[in-house]
Structure 1
C-alpha cells in the first residue's frame, strides 16, 4: 500500500511548482492510475514518491518511508522512461547485474526473461532493442526482486494495442497476486479499462479520486463521430429533429467538417442524413472525454436532474424510452453516457438528465476491467482498505489447491500470458559480497574496460620503444613508459579512466535508480568500486611493466631491461601511484557525478597538486623522518615480523615524495567530500 501526503515539488524560479499538495492512497491488490495530460505532473509525483526529486511531503510504502526500507528494490519495482542500462550490455547481462545489486540468485534473470518473452533476445544489446522489447525488459527489471509495489511511468507509451494489452495484463496479474500497482497514463479510455481506481491530475493538482466505474460514468460518454462536407447543415437538421422529438441531444462542431453528436446513435444520425440527402464520409461510435473537471460538473448535473424528476418533469421518461428505442434499432448493446452540466437539452425546456448504464467502452461497476476471459475471470471485489496479503518475506505459501484464476498457476490472458515468476524468500541479512558481485558484473559486462586496457598496453609499448631509441632515459621511467614531458604515464592515465568510469557510467546509465537515487551513496558500493579499481590498476601496472620489458628486449636486447638496484622501493611506488590514480578517478566521479570530472581530477594531481606540495616540502624545515620505523616499533612495543621495518621505511619514503604526498592529499580530500555528500543526502 502506498500513502502519499502533501507531495509538492520545489518551485521553479517564478513558475508555480509542477506538483502542488498531492495526497492519495494506492491500495494492495488494485491497479491505481495517475491520469493526466502531458505536463500535468504525473512523472514528478512518481519521482517525489521514490525520493528521486527534491520537494516536500511524505510517502509511505506499507507504513514505512522508502529510506527506512532495508531492501528498496524488493519493496518497489520502478520503470521511469527508457531502461537505464548501458547500450552495449546484453539483456541477460543487464538483468544478472541487477540480480547482484538486489541480492537475488542469478537464475532469477532467466525466470523473468521467460515471463516477459525475451528468452530469444537474451544476448541482444540494449541499444538494439525496439520500443516494445525495451518496455518488456523494463518490466522484467521491475519484477526482478519480486517487489510488493510496481511504480511505472506511462509503460505503454509508443506500444501497439496488442503490446499494451499484454503489459496491462501483467500488471493485473501482479495486483491479483496481492501487490500494489501505481502507473501513469494520459488516455482516459485506457484508464477506465485497466484501472481499479483513477486519480486525475490537472496542472499539478489532484482534481479527482474515483473508482473506475464512477470515473467511466462521470468522465466518459458515448458520442457519434461524423465527417461530412455539409457538417453545418447536418448539425442544423439534427438539432431541429431533436427539438421536435423532445430529445436531449448535443451537437458539437469540432472544426472543419467534423461533428460530435452526444445523446444519439449512428442509426439516428445516418437516417437523418439520408432523409435530407446529406453526404456523410464517416459515421462511427466513439467514447468522448469530458475533461478533468467533469466529475464535479456531472455530480451537480445529476443533482439538478434528480430535482427535476421529483418535480414531475415529463421529459425524463420520454428521453430514456426514445434513447432505448434508438439503440434497439441500431442493434447495439450500448447506452448513452451521462450529459455534462453544460449540455444543451434540446426541446425539453429543462436540464439534461442522466442516462442509464455505462457505455460498452467504459467498464461497468461490477467488472471494471475488460482484460478478462474464461481462463482468466475478473477478480472479485476486494476491500479497499486491505493491505498486502502476502507476508513480509514474500515467501511461498504452503501448498494448497489454488483456484483456476491464480495468475501464477494458469494461463491468464487472451494472449496466453505466462505465469509470473515465483516469489523470493528474503534473506535475514544481506551478504557483504553483494556490492562486490554487482561491481564485478558491471565492470566485466561491457568491452570498454578490456579495450581501454589493450589501448594502454599498446601506447605504453610504443612509448617505451621511442624512449629507448632516444636514450638518456632513467631505467624506471623507461620500464613504465613515462616521459619527463608528460604528467602521467599511459598506465596511470588508463587506471584513472577506468576508475572514473566506475561511477561515471552509473550516472549516465543509472541502473540503480530504484534503489534510492541514481547512485546509492553507500559505503558498501564505494568499497566495492575501490576494491575492483585497485585490482584492475594493479593488474594493469604489472602488465604494463612486463609488456614494456618484453618489447624493449625484442627491439634493443638485454641492455635496456636491467633490473634497478632499488627495485622494491620503485615497485611499491609504481603500484601505489597507479592505484592512487584509479582511486582518485573513482572518488572524483562519485563526487562530481561525471566521468570527465573524474579523469580531470586524476590529471590535476600531477599538474596542480604536485607543484603545490613540492613547494611546501622545499620550504619546510631541514629535519627529516629518518628512523621513523624504529621509533614506531619502540612506541608500539612490538617487533616487525619478517623484516617489516624495511617496508615501513619504503612507505614513509613514498609518502615523503611530492607525488606521493600529493596523491595522499588528493585522495583524502576526495574521500571527505564523498562522505560529506553521502551524509548530507541522508539528512535530507
Structure 2
C-alpha cells in the first residue's frame, strides 16, 4: 500500500505538488493521470525517495522508501527506461542490479523471458529501440518480484502485443493482491486496465475514485434516436431537462432523459423508432472535462 499525506514539493517559488493525499490500495490497478506539469512524475519520485518532500510524507508498506532494507524486493519501479548503463548488455544490466540484493541469475533469466527480450539480452542496451528499452525497464522493475509496482508510461513505444501484455500482466499482479500504480496518457488503454483512478491537476488531487464512478460523474449519457417521424418525436419530447440536437435527417442526439422515457413517449404517440442507442461517455471525456482548467500547456484547437 502507498499512502501520501499532505505531500508537498516546492522548487523555489514553484509548487509542483501541493498538499496531495491519497492511498493506493493493494488488489487493484490504480491509474495515475494528469496533464503535463500536473505533478505526477514529481509525486512518483517522492514515493521512491528520489525527491525529498518539502512537507508531508509518503510511505510504501507503512515505511519511508529510504528505510526499506531490500527495496527491489519491496517496490518495482519504472520511471525512466533510459536510466541504464548504455555500454552493458541487457542481461548484464539486470545482473548488476540483481547483485545488489543477492538475487540469483535464474531470476534474471526469468524476467528476460517474461518481458520478451530474450533475443536481444546479449546486446548493448544503449542500442535498444524505445519499445525494447521499455521492456528492459519493466524487467528491472520485476526483478525482485516486488509487492508494489510503480510504472510511469510503461507502454510508451510498445507494439500492440506489448501493450496488451502489460495490461494483462499488471491486472494479474493486482489480482494476486499486489499494489500497482500506473501512469499513462493513453486514456483508451487506461480505461481497459485501471480499477481506480487518481487525477492530478496543477499539483493537486482533482479526483480519486473508482473508474466507473469517475466516468459517470464527469460525463453525460447521450441517446442517439432515429425515427421517420423525428419532428413529431421532438415535439412530444419537449419536457424539462431534455436537450435535443439534430445529427442528420431523421436522427437526433438527446440528453437529460432516459431511453425508457423516450421509448414510452414514442409508443404512446405511435411513433416508430428505428434506433434508440445510449452512448456513454468515456474515460477520455471525463478526464478532459475534469482537467480543462488545469492544463498548463494547452494547444490551440483546430477549427
> Where on the TM-score scale, by shorter chain, does this alignment land: which range?
0.7 to 0.9
Taking a change above 3 Å as real, the CA distance of residues 68 and 192 of structure 1, as seen in their structure-2 partners, is same
CA distance in 2, matches of 1:335, 1:321: 15
Q: Deviations over 1:283-329 (max 9, x none)?
A: xxxxxxxxxxxxxxxxxxxxxx8xxxxxxxx9885346579xxxx84
Whichever of the two has the greater Rg, that structure is 1
Taking a change above 3 Å as real, the CA distance of residues 73 and 242 of structure 1, as seen in their structure-2 partners, is farther
CA shift for structure 1 position 78: 0.6
* Equivalent pair of 2:73/2:147 in contact (CA under 8 Å): yes
* Equivalent pair of 1:35/1:191 in contact (CA under 8 Å): no
CA distance in 1, matches of 2:207, 2:99: 41
Match of 2:46 in 1: 48
Aligned CA-pair RMSD: 3.6
- The equivalences for 1:233-248 within 5 A come to 244=235, 246=237, 248=242
**What SS does the aligned partner of 2:7 have?**
strand
When normalised by structure 1's length, the TM-score is 0.36
CA distance in 2, matches of 1:140, 1:315: 48
Note if 1:28 corresponds to 2:26. yes
CA distance in 2, matches of 1:189, 1:177: 24
CA shift for structure 1 position 157: 2.5
* Equivalent pair of 1:192/1:215 in contact (CA under 8 Å): no
Unaligned runs of 5+ in 2: 224-229, 267-272, 286-303
Taking a change above 3 Å as real, the CA distance of residues 92 and 361 of structure 1, as seen in their structure-2 partners, is same
CA shift for structure 1 position 212: 1.7
Note if 1:19 corresponds to 2:17. yes
When normalised by structure 2's length, the TM-score is 0.77
Unaligned runs of 5+ in 1: 225-238, 252-260, 262-268, 274-304, 306-313, 339-358, 363-684
Taking a change above 3 Å as real, the CA distance of residues 152 and 217 of structure 1, as seen in their structure-2 partners, is same
Match of 1:194 in 2: 193
Report the count of equivalent residues.
Answer: 270
More helix by share: 1
Match of 1:255 in 2: none
Match of 2:37 in 1: 39
Note if 1:337 corresponds to 2:272. no
CA distance in 2, matches of 1:43, 1:70: 24
CA shift for structure 1 position 53: 1.1
Taking a change above 3 Å as real, the CA distance of residues 329 and 81 of structure 1, as seen in their structure-2 partners, is farther
CA distance in 2, matches of 1:196, 1:315: 27
Note if 1:2 corresponds to 2:10. no
Taking a change above 3 Å as real, the CA distance of residues 4 and 88 of structure 1, as seen in their structure-2 partners, is same
Match of 1:125 in 2: 124
CA distance in 2, matches of 1:164, 1:315: 36
Match of 1:383 in 2: none
Match of 1:166 in 2: 165
Taking a change above 3 Å as real, the CA distance of residues 335 and 147 of structure 1, as seen in their structure-2 partners, is same
CA distance in 2, matches of 1:111, 1:162: 19
CA distance in 2, matches of 1:32, 1:315: 31
CA distance in 2, matches of 1:151, 1:199: 14
Higher RCO (CA 8 Å, separation ≥ 6 residues): 2
